């Protein structure tokens, strides 16, 4: 990754995606945490469709605590891994209630002890709720990082996160995370990238570019 390429990429992101935000819908801290846990191997559109129904039916934390695991599974059945997610959400809510007074903790260490919460989820929650500089490497971020040369195609998500932290200014972590997701979701797609429309195609190292 050359300095010139990095500056060009970030300038493109700032020009085309200056104010992009996360697309998961939520009003309360625990609603975001639930949505991010549900987003594993599922689209934000699919998750929002599920959480709208769930949070309308159960608009308070106390109400969600009354939902049984099987009932969560019924809500989540349109999502991948829905049975595991139902178990995670059920246990997560009760752990939040018992150990954190129903509040989502800010500490990464505490977040990672919650059911269904991995590093990516913890980073998203910390960045979104608490504005802590974090980079969450989901499938979009990983793909874009590799194609644009921030990382190697052989790198795992932990290595990609370390490289992005090293290459990006800390004040850009949250913003660039959202920009990479938006770029990957709507232009540099996994299976059908719109390479002919992409101003960064000459930088891209993807061997199967659609030219």
Distances (CA, A) of 11 to 41, 47, 48, 141, 180: 30, 31, 31, 17, 12
Tell me which of 14, 57, 113, 120 is the catalytic residue. Answer: 120
Q: Based on the residue annotation, tell me whether 138 is a catalytic residue of this protein.
A: yes
Other C-beta atoms within 10 Å of 206: how many? 15
Q: Based on the residue annotation, tell me whether 210 is a catalytic residue of this protein.
A: no
Tokens for 24, please give them.
């998961």
Tell me which of 85, 138, 146, 163 is the catalytic residue. Answer: 138
Other C-beta atoms within 10 Å of 79: how many? 19
Could you give the CA distance from residue 66 to residue 62 in angstroms, rounded to a whole number? 7
**φ, ψ for residue 164, nearest 5 deg:** -65, -40
Q: Which residues are the active-site residues? A: 120, 138
């Amino acid at each position: 990754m050359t300095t010139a390429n990095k500056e060009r990429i970030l300038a493109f992101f700032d020009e085309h995606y200056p104010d992009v935000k996360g697309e998961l819908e939520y009003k309360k801290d625990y609603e975001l945490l639930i949505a991010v846990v549900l987003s594993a191997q599922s689209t934000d559109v699919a998750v929002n469709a599920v959480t709208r129904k769930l949070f309308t039916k159960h608009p308070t934390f106390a109400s969600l605590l009354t939902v049984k695991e099987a009932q969560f599974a019924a809500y989540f059945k349109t999502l991948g891994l829905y049975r595991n997610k139902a178990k995670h959400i059920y246990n997560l809510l009760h752990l939040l209630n018992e150990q954190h007074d129903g509040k989502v903790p800010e500490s990464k260490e505490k977040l990672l002890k919650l059911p269904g919460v991995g590093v990516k989820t913890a980073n998203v929650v910390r960045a979104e709720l608490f504005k802590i500089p974090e980079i969450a490497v989901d499938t979009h971020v990983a793909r874009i990082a590799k194609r644009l040369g921030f990382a190697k195609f052989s790198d795992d998500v932990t290595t990609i996160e370390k490289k992005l932290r090293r290459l990006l200014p800390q004040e850009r972590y949250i913003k660039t995370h959202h920009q990479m997701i938006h770029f990957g979701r709507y232009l540099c797609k996994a299976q059908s990238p719109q390479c002919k429309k992409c101003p960064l195609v000459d930088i891209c190292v993807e061997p199967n570019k659609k030219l």
